[in-house]
Amino acid sequence: MLQDSPHLPIWKAMLLAGYYGVSLPCRWWSKARAVGEHRVPIVVLFYHRVADDLATPWTLSNRCFDRQIRWMADRFDLISLSEAQRRIRTGDSARPAVCITFDDGYAENCHKAIPLLIKTGIPCTYFVTLRNVLEQDPFAHDLARGYRFLPNSVEQLRAMAAAGVEIGAHTYSHPDLGLVADEQELYRQIVVAGRELQQWIDRPVRYFAFPFGQYANLSARGFEMAKAAGYLGVCSAYGGYNLPGDDPFHLQRIHADEGMIRLKNRVTVDPRGARVHRFAWAPGASEVKTAMDRV
Ligand SMILES: [Zn+2]
């Protein structure tokens, strides 16, 4: 089915399908070259809510999620964030690979989506906003649209962690950290929230994802704090692919909850997306090169 998300208009889906078809030879050629050079871009996806009401643009149906996962499982190594970092760090990425992550922490994800990943042994990192979990309070971005979706419970997080899902931190109250200048508040949202989450689930919390994750929502000081606090990696969400030789601490992620054709277009490395600039959180020439320079 071409249009499997009501948030992607049919005309857009058709244009995208045409673009995907026309650019496939270019993608195959780039992929063959990257495989030969062991420099295949690593794709890190992020989902939010998998549920069948398709109420928001950050909701994907269970059917489409199932299709996406099966389609990717046939074509990519589905790997953990730590394996992605290993490939980036060692500079050896010989096979197309995708990481699955989720943001926020919606209770409905535990109905079918997370059980599917657990059953099929597909690694997943699940970033949660602690206050919403502890207070069982719906997310502000859903309340603004009149929805009161239930966040995950601590019990659900513990069960996921016990089944092998990596639970990550996504702040205490989901603020735009690009606007937080106060050091103490930044520390509370990034470091304290992660440590508290760790105590609640009784497992190490090793990764952090910035809320919203666009350039303007990131904070270089926040990256420094996360690194100093012992996080193994930090995720953004403005798009972009991760290449061997990039900074393995910063994983650039790509939106995945907009239907099948958009996912296919993105995970097979859209030549347009390869030009995304990395957020430069620390001095270092490697962080401001474009991905295209090295594809
Ligand atoms: Zn979020």
Q: Rounded distance, CA 288 to CA 183, Å?
A: 25
Q: Rounded distance, CA 238 to CA 58, Å?
A: 15
- Local confidence band at 162 (pLDDT 50, 70, 90 cut-offs): very high
Whole-number pLDDT of residue 233: 98
CA of 104 to the centre of ligand 1 (A): 5
Angle of the 260-267 helix axis to the 62-75 helix axis, nearest 10: 30
Whether residue 273 has pLDDT greater than 90: no
Tell me what the mean pLDDT of segment 244-264 comes to.
92
CA of 68 to the centre of ligand 1 (A): 21
pLDDT in tens, 96-113: 999 999 999 999 999 999
Of the listed ranges 22-36, 190-204, 207-221, the least confidently predicted one is 22-36
pTM: 0.92
Q: Is the dihedral of CA 137, 167, 264, 51 positive or negative?
A: negative
Q: Rounded distance, CA 113 to CA 119, Å?
A: 10
CA of 23 to the centre of ligand 1 (A): 32
Tell me what the mean pLDDT of segment 253-267 comes to.
91
- Local confidence band at 2 (pLDDT 50, 70, 90 cut-offs): low
CA of 36 to the centre of ligand 1 (A): 37
CA of 280 to the centre of ligand 1 (A): 21
CA of 132 to the centre of ligand 1 (A): 11
CA of 211 to the centre of ligand 1 (A): 4
CA of 65 to the centre of ligand 1 (A): 19
**DSSP string spanning 192-212?**
IHHHHHHHHHTS---EEE-SS
- Local confidence band at 291 (pLDDT 50, 70, 90 cut-offs): very low
CA of 170 to the centre of ligand 1 (A): 7
The owner of tokens 């992605």 is 84
Q: Rounded distance, CA 22 to CA 31, Å?
A: 16
- Local confidence band at 288 (pLDDT 50, 70, 90 cut-offs): very low
- Local confidence band at 285 (pLDDT 50, 70, 90 cut-offs): very low
Whether residue 166 has pLDDT greater than 90: yes
The owner of tokens 């016990």 is 162
Whole-number pLDDT of residue 3: 55
Tell me what the mean pLDDT of segment 146-174 comes to.
98
Tell me what the mean pLDDT of segment 134-160 comes to.
97
Burial class (CB in 10 A: 0-12, 13-18, 19+), 293: exposed
CA of 212 to the centre of ligand 1 (A): 6
CA of 246 to the centre of ligand 1 (A): 24
Burial class (CB in 10 A: 0-12, 13-18, 19+), 116: middle
Angle of the 113-120 helix axis to the 62-75 helix axis, nearest 10: 20
Local structure of 132: helix, strand or coil: helix
Whole-number pLDDT of residue 275: 64
CA of 32 to the centre of ligand 1 (A): 35
Whole-number pLDDT of residue 270: 85
DSSP assigned state of 79: -
CA of 16 to the centre of ligand 1 (A): 26
Tell me what the mean pLDDT of segment 126-153 comes to.
97
Which residue ranges form the domains of the chain, and what is each CATH number? Answer: 10-19+39-103+114-294 (3.20.20.370)
Most trustworthy range by pLDDT among 26-35, 181-190, 254-263: 181-190
Local structure of 13: helix, strand or coil: helix
CA of 30 to the centre of ligand 1 (A): 32
Q: What percent of the chain has pLDDT over 90?
A: 80
State the greatest distance between any 2 C-alpha atoms of the chain, in Å, as a whole number.
Answer: 51
CA of 48 to the centre of ligand 1 (A): 8
The owner of tokens 């092998």 is 164
**DSSP string spanning 251-281?**
E-EEE--S-HHHHHHHHTT-TTGGGPBPP--
How does the average pLDDT of the chain come out, rounded?
A: 91
Q: Is the dihedral of CA 295, 262, 102, 146 positive or negative?
A: positive
